[in-house]
């Protein structure tokens, strides 16, 4: 076959909204939790005995009655599993041993032939506790007066970028010192000082946590889990149970909602531990909805004490931010949220003098873990409101104030890192323009007050400096392409994006690319975790490299067969073409069987498999005392969000008339998926801003159900949501791309709070920004009577 090749002939796969890959066709056994259908009559059901105390010593556990109950096969306690576990700080046991540190902590586990029998057995377990004084506020918890939640903190294991303070409740103290902030306040024309509080919230995935573990007679472990972190789970469970990683296999089908709560290890080690005592029996452990609310990861609470000042022209001079993170009873994941809060603790602002103290504090609250935004929503709630207050105090337009002070390419940010290219000013301009910023528009009714607010954000992928990705590309006889990855599809469209990257780099139609699932640590290439909005960037680089490797192998084969230079060849739409001779050949068959030599003298080539990996090698350590270093993070995604809303004077209810989000994504691999993330992120951010709060009283959650824990529904979604894509290419991203999964909900609380203030003249700084809270604030201010 001969074609007329041109270098721009093929349709590009990048920057085009390709249809979402239908992973259902490719994920064999996606509906894994079908009990007896898949796992047989030997399936056991596990339940956990949980602590009713927020803080107490365990004096005695009697499991004899539970073991004697017919139908019970296994009963275990913390005495059976002495090793600690944890992703960044090994501070927790699978089952509590010496003491309990939050309400709902597992102290024993049961496996029985039915869940009902398991529940009865749990009730028969007798535990004697000695209650201890609790810590229920992080500021108090960080003080010398607070009782110690972890007296043995100094004996725990942690990496060199986490800084615990043994003998206190501070499990990580991350510091940033840039310039001399203490000397600058007297030089400021205006200073704002305020304390902001952000409550705990729950991820509330539609699918609660569920995992099934089976141990065969040779000690090989298979874990099926609703997981964002199958490789991390394999690693952590292996260490905590002294099992070689080669003997643990984790299978992670599609997830019914994650948002960070299914990252790391939370409940997944429990069925594995129990299954070790019931070899040959699959053990299923499923959290109830109530357990999902407070026995697993939650978003940490935060108390942020912020002081910021500027000169008469609105230039920032000093910023001080002291953050007390309510890490809960264990902070194995929370310490890294604190670290991320620290190196992002100035917000996306260029300020010559910065002092940040980010403290992760043990309390007797539910365990804080990864949540969409990884601490950035909480950080920006205070910083961006403080900037809004400072702009008003100096008498400057908010948009102009933000544009004057946001970071730009070449700036030295708070950690000393040089800022890369960013489109944040363009984001501000486009968001402001979309809501007619500066135009006072009429209220819709006499009892309504109308206002507009704007907020900015930045977020870096919060991860270890050496978090890696890998990928395999396999070509089939019909020239279809199989992509094998270790990153998880959690609804964000990563399988589709990876298919597009592979197709573009290899030179084949998108429709011919299939992504292999489910993720299986025995067969899938390694991926650190599906967190941090890093997959498009990190795993995308690995997929691109694997595709380029496969492409090189194909072109080398054809160049040898045709006697041409590789530089004269290309792959377009599934054909190898020569720009020199205008010859072409389909990839069909040759990518498996190769190409025959002339005169039947043998063959060239063979089955084509491409491999690729990616790991950032340039992230440097930061000084423990100053937080300074050459490169703190891989990059920052930046953006802006603006809202136009009305407040009802009779009820305090807010109505969002229009919400606009503009984000610099580097390069939109799939614009439709990017817009979907931006829109969905705003709605989730709005939900956490207006409705959501875990009401904790002495460590006990008062609203662990959807009856009392309100989340946004379709009825709450604003009629107008506009998503704006800005593209300032990332130098090390695949085709210039950066992640966008978490970022759209980061500035929402601040944007809404600023808009409410603009409408009413009353600052309601602490979420949730409920109708009741707004109305009472207006009442106190004399706006309503």
- Pull the structure tokens for residue 451: 């206002």
Distances (CA, A) of 569 to 136, 140, 481, 555, 605: 67, 68, 20, 7, 16
Residues in the chain: 785
Q: How far is CA 312 from CA 395, 454, 566, in A?
A: 9, 22, 62
In Å, how far are 14, 231, 611 from 484, measured between CA atoms?
Answer: 19, 15, 10
The Cα–Cα gap between 541 and 617 comes to 13
SS3 state of residue 680: helix
Reduce the DSSP state of residue 140 to 3 states and report it: helix
Q: What is the spatial distance between Cα 485 and Cα 479, in angstroms, rounded to a whole number?
A: 19
Catalytic status, residue 105 = no
Q: What is the DSSP string of 284-348?
A: EEE--HHHHHHTS-BBPEEEEEEEEEE-TTS-EEEEEEEEEEEEES--TTHHHHHHHHHHTTT-S
DSSP 477: T
What's the DSSP call for residue 419? P
Run of H or E residues at 99:
strand 99-100
Unique residue bearing structure tokens 């230079």:
565
Nearest-angstrom CA–CA distance, 733 and 420: 12
- A 10 A CB-CB count for 140 gives 15
- Residues whose CB is less than 8 angstroms from the CB of residue 265 and which lie 6 or more positions away in sequence, other chains included: 85, 87, 229, 232, 233, 236, 237
Q: How far is CA 191 from CA 194, 195, 767, in A?
A: 10, 14, 23
Contact 5, 570 (CB under 8 A): yes
Phi, psi of 596, deg, nearest 5: -70, 140
Helices (H), 462-539: 494-506
Token pair 């609310």 in the structure block, residue? 293
SS3 176: strand
**CB contact set of 105 (below 8 Å; sequence gap of 6+):** 50, 51, 96, 295, 329
**What is the strand order of the sheet 569-572 is part of?**
569-572, 575-578, 584-586
Q: What are phi and psi of 694, to 5 degrees?
A: -80, 115
Contact 340, 415 (CB under 8 A): no
Residue of 630, 679, 742, 772 with catalytic role: 742
Torsion of CA 381, 188, 338, 342, to 10 degrees: 120
Strand partners, 660: 642, 722
- Would you please indicate which residues are annotated as catalytic (active-site) residues? 742
């Amino acid at each position: 076959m001969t074609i007329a090749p041109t270098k721009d002939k093929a349709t590009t796969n990048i920057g085009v909204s390709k249809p979402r890959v239908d992973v259902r066709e490719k994920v064999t056994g996606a509906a894994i939790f079908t009990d007896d259908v898949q796992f047989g009559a030997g399936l056991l059901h596990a339940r956990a005995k949980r602590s009713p105390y927020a803080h107490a010593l365990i004096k005695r556990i009697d499991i004899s009655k539970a073991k004697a109950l017919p139908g019970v096969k296994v009963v275990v306690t913390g005495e059976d599993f002495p090793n600690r576990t944890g992703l960044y700080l090994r501070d927790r046991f699978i089952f509590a041993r010496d003491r309990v540190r939050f309400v709902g902590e597992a102290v024993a586990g049961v496996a029985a032939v039915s869940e009902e029998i398991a529940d009865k057995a749990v009730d028969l377990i007798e535990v004697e506790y000695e209650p201890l004084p609790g810590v229920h506020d992080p500021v108090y918890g960080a003080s010398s007066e607070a009782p110690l939640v972890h007296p043995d903190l100094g004996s725990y294991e942690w990496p060199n970028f986490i800084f615990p303070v043994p003998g206190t409740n501070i499990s990580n103290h991350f510091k940033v010192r840039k310039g001399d902030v203490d000397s600058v306040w007297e030089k400021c024309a205006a200073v704002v000082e305020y304390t902001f509080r952000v409550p705990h919230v729950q991820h509330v995935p539609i699918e609660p946590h569920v995992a099934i573990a089976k141990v065969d007679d040779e000690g090989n472990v298979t874990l099926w889990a609703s997981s964002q972190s199958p490789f991390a789970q394999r690693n952590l469970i292996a260490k905590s149970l002294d099992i070689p990683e080669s003997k643990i296999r984790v299978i992670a089908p599609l997830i019914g909602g994650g948002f960070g709560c299914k990252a790391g290890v939370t409940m997944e080690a429990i069925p594995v531990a129990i299954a070790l005592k019931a070899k040959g029996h699959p053990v299923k452990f499923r959290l109830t909805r109530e357990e999902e609310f407070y026995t697993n990861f939650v978003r940490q609470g935060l108390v942020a004490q912020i002081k910021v000042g500027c000169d008469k022209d609105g230039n920032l001079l000093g910023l001080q931010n002291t953050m007390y993170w309510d890490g809960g009873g264990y902070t194995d994941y929370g310490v890294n949220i604190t670290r991320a809060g620290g190196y992002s603790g100035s917000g996306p602002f260029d300020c010559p003098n910065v002092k940040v103290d980010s403290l992760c504090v043990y309390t007797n609250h539910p365990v804080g873990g990864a949540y969409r935004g990884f601490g950035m929503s909480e950080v920006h709630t205070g910083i961006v409101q403080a900037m809004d207050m400072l702009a008003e105090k100096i008498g400057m337009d908010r948009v102009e104030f933000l544009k004057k002070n946001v970071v730009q390419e070449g700036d030295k940010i708070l950690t000393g890192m040089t800022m890369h290219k960013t489109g944040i000013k363009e984001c501000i301009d486009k968001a402001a323009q979309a809501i007619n910023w500066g135009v006072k528009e009429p209220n819709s009714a006499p009892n309504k007050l109308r206002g507009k607010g704007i907020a900015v954000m930045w977020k870096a992928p919060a991860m270890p400096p050496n978090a890696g990705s890998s990928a395999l590309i396999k070509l089939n006889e019909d020239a279809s392409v199989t992509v094998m990855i270790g990153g998880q599809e959690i609804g964000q469209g990563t399988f589709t994006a990876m298919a597009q990257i592979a197709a573009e780099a290899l030179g084949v139609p998108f429709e011919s690319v299939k992504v292999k699932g489910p993720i299986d640590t025995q067969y899938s290439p390694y991926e650190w975790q599906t967190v941090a909005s890093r997959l498009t960037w990190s795993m995308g680089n690995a997929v691109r490299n694997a595709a380029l490797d496969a492409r090189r192998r194909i072109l080398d084969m054809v160049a040898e067969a045709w006697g041409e230079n590789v530089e004269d060849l290309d792959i377009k739409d599934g054909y190898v073409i020569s720009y020199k001779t205008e010859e072409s050949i389909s990839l069909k068959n040759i990518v498996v069987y190769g190409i025959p030599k002339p005169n039947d003298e043998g063959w060239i080539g063979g089955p084509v498999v491409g491999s690729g990996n990616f790991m950032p090698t340039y992230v440097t350590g930061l000084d423990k005392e100053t937080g300074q270093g050459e490169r703190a993070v891989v990059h920052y995604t930046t953006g802006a969000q603006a809202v136009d809303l009305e407040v009802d004077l009779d009820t305090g209810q807010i109505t969002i008339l229009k919400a606009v989000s503009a984000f610099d994504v580097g390069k939109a691999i799939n614009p439709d998926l990017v817009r979907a993330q931006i829109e969905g992120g705003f709605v989730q951010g709005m939900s956490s801003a207006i409705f959501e709060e875990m009401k904790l009283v002495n460590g006990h959650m008062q609203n662990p159900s959807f009856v009392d824990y309100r989340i946004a529904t379709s009825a709450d979604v604003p009629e107008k949501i506009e998503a704006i894509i800005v593209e300032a290419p990332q130098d090390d991203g695949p085709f210039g791309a950066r992640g966008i999964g978490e970022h759209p909900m980061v500035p929402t609380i601040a944007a809404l709070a600023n808009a409410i203030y603009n409408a009413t003249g009353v600052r309601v700084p602490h979420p949730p920004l409920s109708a009741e809270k707004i109305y009472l604030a207006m009442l106190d201010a004399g706006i309503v009577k």
